[in-house]
Amino acid sequence: MAITEQSRHQMLDALSAAIGEGPAMTLAEHLPPVGWGDVATKQDLAHLEARLDLRFEAIDHRFESIDHRFDALSKQIDAEIHKALYKSSVGTFLALGVFISALRIWG
């Protein structure tokens, strides 16, 4: 049976008639504003916390995986840059050597 505002009001009226308005209001204030089925228990909150912890842990593992991939990619890019700089440096020094040798021969 769904609890409506009308049924809550009727209960409060009957309770007021039985035990008095002050105690009836005090008792009514301790009831949840919705049905008991809608009230979360400490156990409900503990289960929710455990599920959220598992989700955050899974997200943390995903970020760790992405970090490792970025680290590997960064190392690969660094290696390619160093290789390209080495090749261009060697090429430059070879060209400079050829140029100096040509100057000695013709000069």
pLDDT digits (tens, 9 = 90+) for 11-37: 889 999 999 999 999 988 888 777 667
Q: pLDDT tens, 67-88?
A: 999 999 999 999 999 999 988 8
Question: In the predicted model, is pLDDT for residue 45 greater than 90?
Answer: yes
Residue 3's pLDDT band (boundaries 50, 70, 90)? confident
pTM for the full model? Answer: 0.43
Question: In the predicted model, is pLDDT for residue 41 greater than 70?
Answer: yes
Distances (CA, A) of 31 to 26, 48, 73, 100: 9, 24, 60, 97
